[in-house]
Structure 1
Amino acid sequence: MQRILVTGGLGFIGSHTVVELQQAGYDVVIIDDLSNSQLSVLDRITSITGMKPDFHQFDLKEKEKVHQFFQQEKIDGVIHFAASKAVGESVNEPLKYYENNINTLVYVLKAMNNNQVENFIFSSSCTVYGQADELPITESAPVKTAESPYGNTKQIGEEILKETTTVSNLNGIALRYFNPIGAHASAKIGELPIGVPQNLIPYITQTAIGIREELSIFGDDYPTEDGTAIRDYIHVVDLAKAHIKALERLIENRNKEKYEVFNVGTGSGSSVLEIVKAFEKATNQDLAYKIVERRAGDITAAFADTTLAEKELNWKAELTLEDCLLSAWNWQKKIHENTLVE
């Protein structure tokens, strides 16, 4: 049985990927420092799959601990999620993002090289494209000057991975996510922001259930049909499955280059106001919202061309926007019932 390390494995995307890995027959070990996640997620993963992943709690910025871990554990592949990820926060705290997102990546890659671990999946982002010249965005679109320190850490991370693969036995795939939303169908895991949500969907669900007074929509003067920004919203379970496909490609030596990049999205975009209306329709909930100033680092529109992932990874998003919004709402109601969040 292949043993896969998932860093940040108790986070939103990480936890869903752990579930898919276990259900696909992999032995999973998680490293997470719990800075943006909760230990209770481990039990909830176990209740879905019937298997408890091995768990190690430490900060990947602790270089010696990273090296000790790889010396002690037999690992066949790494899926690297551990990173700070809020665009707005990164603008205000750039050094936190460079330290957390770059140093940890370097330490993990060095430890892999030292211990002959060859398969690496990097959690990248469509933010590397900035405001693309053409939509939908293909992988050959130019990587532009980042709009935020967060986006820049993803660009630098890709460069580090690409350059490392050229001079080592490492094989890497960078998956450029668009906007992951939704929750597991069991409503046992989902997006669980600590404090005020930085992402649209948890802010919507927290507003609908009464935790937040109203949703703030950042800008209605973008050059789009309704004036609000457009993004490609993908169900987190579909995104998790893309990681399994990418991992299989590396393990089975089907990669065509030592470093490859794939977009992971649905191929279509929705505006913020369209999401609000779709949520109201799917859940029969009225949503209070107000228009506020644009947010630093935000672009007008981004949605993916997923042709390459469909062809090379044999992967395609299957769940609908309604599936995404209903699952997120069911998750929010479950949290509220269990008072997991104050």
Structure 2
Amino acid sequence: MSTQTGEPLRRVLVTGGAGYIGSHVVFKLLETRRYKVISIDNHHNSYPTSLVRVSKLAKELLPENPTEQEKDSTVIDTFTCDLTKRDDVRKVFEHYGKGGIWGVIHIAAYKAVGESTQIPLTYYENNVSATVQLLQIMSEYDCTRIVYSSSATVYGTPPKVPIPETTRLQADSPYGKTKVMCETVIDDLCHAEPHRWRALSLRYFNPAGAHPSGLIGEEPRGRPGNLLPLLAHIACGRVKDQLQVFGNDYPTHDGTCVRDYLHVLDLAAGHLLALDALAPESKVFDNAPDDARYKAYNLGKGKGMSVLDMVEAMRKATGYDYKYDIIGRRRGDVPDLTADPALAEKELGFHAPHDLETMCRDLWNWQTKNPDGYGGQAE
């Protein structure tokens, strides 16, 4: 999709832009050549190299004889900045001036369920306080459109699976509770100033895979906290221990926890649809129950896979013979989180066509091309 002549690039700020999800979202934004992306990241769990590679991918997609504006769309404005530091965040907004940033995609957060039960205050400060500050600064600079990265963990143990968006929010972990709080804050803000603010919360299920080029992918700092990158690290020898499976007595088809996996590029495409839905001409809020322009959508495939299903899928992709120990349940884990994505399909036009085989193949392609992650740099 090329930019119409005369229509300037819309500046969009992505928090956590260098991270796993952030880098794929930035790629999707650049691919349209309609946006000028600004990234804020403190590299707590990401590497600056990822955005250098995203920019390279975007440049390769340029048409012959690109315009200056098309070339400019491939250049990312990157700021190393901590969202908990108000003055540093304000400086970024100040750089572009009032009304200079069209919208924000807020992805940056701490995200490990287990860790959140051990250091809840750190999670509340980083995820909730920083979001409140970000919204205050956005308001100050007349930037009143936000796509918020929420999570399926907001549902806790859902009464009904697949899970519709109407499910009550009752998170089981401090991490999940931070997401409920941020959604609540944004909802309240949209109700307080309905003619100023437009916001969508995207409740992610489990992103997996990587860009098929193998140039960008999931590279957590330290031992991976999520199942798929952990399986990839085990297969390539970076993690030496045996896999631990937390509980096999859940009410699921094989006793292990079931999750809804979707390809990270499908998830990223969902952000683009959400951002477009915040434009003045969008019809997404026409059926809202009141004058507040706020909605939440599930982004998932609507198909559940158990821990052991994933181990088997990765065995096929990698050829590695995984061994595992079954240990006790982990606090905060929920038996089954499978999305009902019908609302996002109907109202945003969201689809998640990539299958599990492709997710595992793309993940393994990234891992084998980058055995030490982003060149093993310790930036």
TM normalised by structure 2 equals: 0.88
1:247 and 2:275 aligned: yes
**Is the CA contact (8 Å cut-off) linking 2:50 and 2:374 kept in structure 1?**
no
Q: Report the equivalent of 1:224.
A: 252
Query: Offset at 1:215?
Result: 1.5
- Segments of structure 1 that go 5 or more residues without pairing to the other structure are none
Once the two structures are superposed, what CA deviation does each residue of 1:139-184 show, in whole Å capped at 9, x if it has no partner?
011112x211100000000000000111221110000000111111
1:336 is matched with 371
Choose the corresponding residue for 1:9, options 10, 17, 20: 17
Give the Å deviation of 1:106.
0.8
Q: Percent identity?
A: 43
For residue 78 of structure 1, report the CA deviation from its aligned partner.
0.3
Structure 1 vs Structure 2 CA RMSD: 1.3
Secondary structure of 2:337's aligned partner: coil
Q: CA contact under 8 A between 2:12 and 2:103: conserved in structure 1? A: yes
Alignment correspondent of 2:89: 66
Which residue in 2 is equivalent to 1:20?
A: 28
Query: How many angstroms apart in 2 are the aligned matches of 1:308 and 1:48?
Result: 32
How do residues 137-148 of structure 1 correspond to structure 2 at under 5 angstroms? 137-144=163-170, 146-148=171-173
Deviates more, 1:249-258 or 1:45-54: 249-258
Secondary structure of the corresponding residue to residue 79 of structure 1: strand
Structural mapping, 1:64-213, within 5 Å? 64-73=87-96, 74-144=100-170, 146-168=171-193, 169-213=196-240
Cross-structure match for 1:49: 58
The one-letter code matched in structure 1 to 2:136 is: K
Opposite residue 257 of structure 2, the aligned amino acid is A
Structure 2 unaligned spans of 5+: 1-8, 60-73
3-state DSSP of counterpart to 1:263:
strand
Secondary structure of 1:232 counterpart: strand
Comparing 103-112 and 67-76, the one that deviates more = 67-76
Q: CA deviation at 1:315?
A: 1.0
* 2:72 counterpart of 1:34: no
Whether the 8 Å CA contact 1:42–1:52 is kept in 2: the answer is: no
Q: 2:229 is aligned with what amino acid?
A: P
Structure 1 SS opposite 2:297: strand
Taking the aligned partners of 1:339 and 1:101, their CA distance within structure 2 comes to 26
User: Which of 294, 304, 307 is the matching residue for 2:339?
Assistant: 304
Counterpart secondary structure, 1:105 = helix
Superposition TM-score, scaled by structure 1 size: 0.97
**Between 329-338 and 266-275, the greater mean CA deviation after superposition:** 329-338
CA contact (8 A) 1:43 1:52 kept: no
TM-superposed deviation, 1:339: 7.3
CA contact (8 A) 1:16 1:237 kept: yes
Bigger CA radius of gyration? 2
Deviation at 1:337, TM superposition (A): 6.6
Contact 1:45 1:52 survives alignment (8 Å): no
Q: Match for residue 268 of structure 1?
A: 303
